[in-house]
Amino acid sequence: MTVRDGRPVDNDDSTADHGTRLLDDTGAPHAYGAVLASDSQDTGSTSAPRPTRPDEEELAREALDDTDMSRPTRHLAIAYAGLLLLAFTTSLEGQVTAPLAAFAVSSFNNHSLLSTVYVVQGVVNAVIKPPMAKMADVFGRLEAFTVAILFCVAGYVQMASSHSIRTFSAAQILYSAGITGLQVLQQILVADTSDLRHRALLSSLPDTPFLVTVWIGPSIAAAVLATTSWRWGYAMWAILLPLAFCPLAGSLALNAYQTHRSHRQGRLARGCLGLTAVSGPATSSPTGSAVSTNWTTSKASSALRRLLTDLDAVGILLLSAALSLILLPLTLSRSLAGGWSNPLLGLSVIAGLLLLIFAFPAWEARPHLAPHPLIPLALLRNVTFCAGCGVGLFFFAVFYLSVQPYFYSYLLVAHNQEIATAGRITQIFSFTSTICAVSASIAIRHVRRYKPFVVAGATVYLVGVACMLRHRTADAGTIRLVATQIAVGSGAGLMSVPTQIGIQASVAHMPHLVSAATAVYLTMGEVGIAIGSAISGAIWGRLVPAKLELYLPSADRQNASAIYSSVSVALSYPWGSPTRDAIIRAYQESMTALLYVAVGFCVPVLLLALLMRDYRLDGGNEAAGSSSDAGDDAVEAEPLTPVAVSAGAHGGSFATADERVNLLSEEAVNEVEDE
């Protein structure tokens, strides 16, 4: 996992090694090594393993022996070029729209509610990954990508046309669902079309555009604000993003057509992307009637019910409702009549706590209600897993207390930075963390240990945030501000990917839980975003208006509300004027409070990192047996072998728990053996 625009993104290939894709783009069952966080959440089954039929083995062997890869290679090159174009577009969009958010909410005279936007994003991102991954598995990659693009376009249009903070915040639901879905689907596509040897490199492709866009995005944002309005800064992506998706969509559509044609011929074949597929034979019901294994012939209601069960839709709703009811009041208390004396806020928090403490655990703990829970109970007994999830939660909470969402506005007002310069300073985090994450991944392949990187990253992260606190004043030079962001980004990059690897290694002896563990870790990161945004919004909303009333000259005191509500109004006062100095002092003291809380949150990050077990990561068949370190676990990785999956007696689109577990054990993707 790396960090894009302050969001956790799974780009580690380990999750791609523990699942089997059940459907191709036409809906027929097959396997070519895809990764789905929600497909591996079964805790096992007592059913007998499903035997592999000789014809399946022969078909798979024939597919592997196919040496005519010239056409698939060409199509793969086009597909990856399309993937890179889409990643570049979404990366540039993030760098352009991030600075615009402050001006958007300021135009509604609600600059303090910028944190509310990030809370909504965090809650949506926390629960959208499993449904989007499952959609790709059930309906196909092209269909899932298309839905994600449509979500993004709808979000852009609604944001560009919004005239209130409520409409703008509601648009974040569509936007966050779409952009997070695209990030998940990009990694799934990489897993579909690569082997283990190349997957680590290919999975980092969607991150590479950030090395360029981080520098040009803020300049584009400044040009948009100078020539038009922030609305066009959002609206233009409703046109550009679908255009950027066209090459990849064409490749996926061609692959779906060729795969469908191979199904009609009743044989295993490669699509244009080199993806193997086989049409499952029809089975017979106890009455002797033929039952098709194709998903499209099953009853819609039964399929929908099974889909909602596999997604744990009720659990997702309970978790999202609980987080929203608890966190949103923290950011809205200032804008509601009566503040915290308003009974609606108290009732909202109480209802959220009841859902989070009682309703959600009660639902997740009952297998007959939630056979595929968001958080399998077996994971909660794993110290390394729990500590790693805590690292992710506090790590992102710190980021949304120190860098997002108010540091950009602070640079504009208190440091008199230009729009483009302030944007580049805040985006140095993404640039630095990407480089350090890739470097840490390469280093781990050689040292075969992950914990030293987690501990070192947590330490550097703490030092970086402490330096932000030390150099927070208005007289701090640009070089010092840049240095603090380099330190914070370096710590984040060193820590993020190794933490995910440690979590996956801790459950690698239970392959059916690896994807679930990774999904929970990513979810905890999004929860941390929501928590950090809510706390920062509460602090900023309480301190800034009070300090403006205290420090503003008497002649401008009646403008305190307008200054607090709009960064544009704050910037309208000349640099060096008594009013601007009072605004700077109010901003500076409020940012100081945020940074003190951020430093405090860094301490659990370091302590939890120390609690994680230092597994030894060895690859190959000899690793597990040759490790001599007592108490360490050796992770064994073998290449994936395509396995033709038949729907068997179940006749549906979903493999049962015992089928999935059996497939995973047959492929022997990752295995940890305690010595």
Q: What confidence score (pLDDT) does residue 323 get?
A: 80
Q: Answer yes or no: do 353 and 457 share one domain.
A: no
Residue 637, strand partner residues: 670
Q: Answer yes or no: do 665 and 568 share one domain.
A: no
Q: Answer yes or no: do 425 and 574 share one domain.
A: yes
Q: What confidence score (pLDDT) does residue 290 get?
A: 40
- State the residue range of the domain holding 447: 380-615
* CATH number reported for the structural domain that contains residue 102 in this entry: 1.20.1250.20
> Is residue 38 assigned to a domain?
no
> In the Cβ-directed half-sphere of 389, how many Cα atoms lie within 13 Å?
19
Measured between alpha carbons, how far is 90 from 113 in angstroms, rounded to an integer? 25
Q: Answer yes or no: do 504 and 395 share one domain.
A: yes
Q: Answer yes or no: do 91 and 208 share one domain.
A: yes
Contact between residue 125 and residue 180 where contact means Cβ atoms under 8 Å apart: yes
Which tokens hold the place of 489?
């980004």
Q: Which helix (H) or strand (E) holds 505?
A: helix 478-506
Q: Answer yes or no: do 432 and 567 share one domain.
A: yes
> Is residue 269 assigned to a domain?
no
Instruction: Tell me the average pLDDT of the chain.
Output: 73
Measured between alpha carbons, how far is 547 from 115 in angstroms, rounded to an integer? 19
Q: Answer yes or no: do 511 and 364 share one domain.
A: no
Burial of 105 (0-12, 13-18, 19+ CB in 10 A): buried
DSSP assignment of 643-670 equals: -PPP-GGG-SSS--HHHHHHHHHHHT-E
Measured between alpha carbons, how far is 37 from 476 in angstroms, rounded to an integer? 45
Residues in CB range of 639: below 8 A, 6 or more apart = 195, 196, 197
Provide the number of structural domains found in the chain.
4
Encode pLDDT of 451-509 as tens digits: 999 999 999 999 999 999 888 777 778 888 899 999 999 999 899 888 888 888 888 77
Look at residue 635 and give its three-state secondary structure.
Answer: strand
pLDDT > 90? residue 599: yes
Point out the domain boundary residue: 241, 258, 275. 258
Q: If pLDDT is split at 50, 70 and 90, which confidence band does 611 have? A: very high
Q: Answer yes or no: do 557 and 430 share one domain.
A: yes
Q: What is the pTM of this model?
A: 0.67
Q: If pLDDT is split at 50, 70 and 90, which confidence band does 79 have? A: confident
Point out the domain boundary residue: 350, 371, 392. 371
Q: Answer yes or no: do 582 and 633 share one domain.
A: no
Q: Could you give the C-alpha distances from 414 to 97, 299, 473, 484, 567, in angstroms and in order? A: 22, 61, 8, 17, 11
> Is residue 25 assigned to a domain?
no
- Count Cβ atoms below 10 Å from residue 370 Cβ, excluding itself: 22
> Is residue 624 assigned to a domain?
yes
- Count Cβ atoms below 10 Å from residue 243 Cβ, excluding itself: 10
Point out the domain boundary residue: 615, 636, 654. 615
- DSSP β-ladder status, 276-277 and 269-270: antiparallel
DSSP assignment of 221-287 equals: HHHHHHHS-HHHHHHTHHHHHHHHHHHHHHHHHHHHHHHHHHHHTTS-EE-TTS-EE-PPPPEE-TT
pLDDT > 90? residue 538: no
Encode pLDDT of 13-30 as tens digits: 443 443 333 333 333 333
pLDDT > 90? residue 600: yes
- DSSP β-ladder status, 283-284 and 276-277: unpaired
Q: What is the mean pLDDT of residues 133-159?
A: 85
Residue 671, strand partner residues: 636
> Is residue 586 assigned to a domain?
yes
More confident residue, 224 or 304: 224
DSSP 6: T
**Least trusted range by pLDDT, from 138-152, 174-188, 267-281:** 267-281
> Is residue 26 assigned to a domain?
no
Q: Answer yes or no: do 443 and 556 share one domain.
A: yes
Q: If pLDDT is split at 50, 70 and 90, which confidence band does 349 have? A: confident
Residues in CB range of 246: below 8 A, 6 or more apart = 82
Q: What confidence score (pLDDT) does residue 201 get?
A: 61
> Is residue 608 assigned to a domain?
yes
Q: Answer yes or no: do 500 and 390 share one domain.
A: yes
pLDDT > 80? residue 342: no
Residue 9, strand partner residues: 2
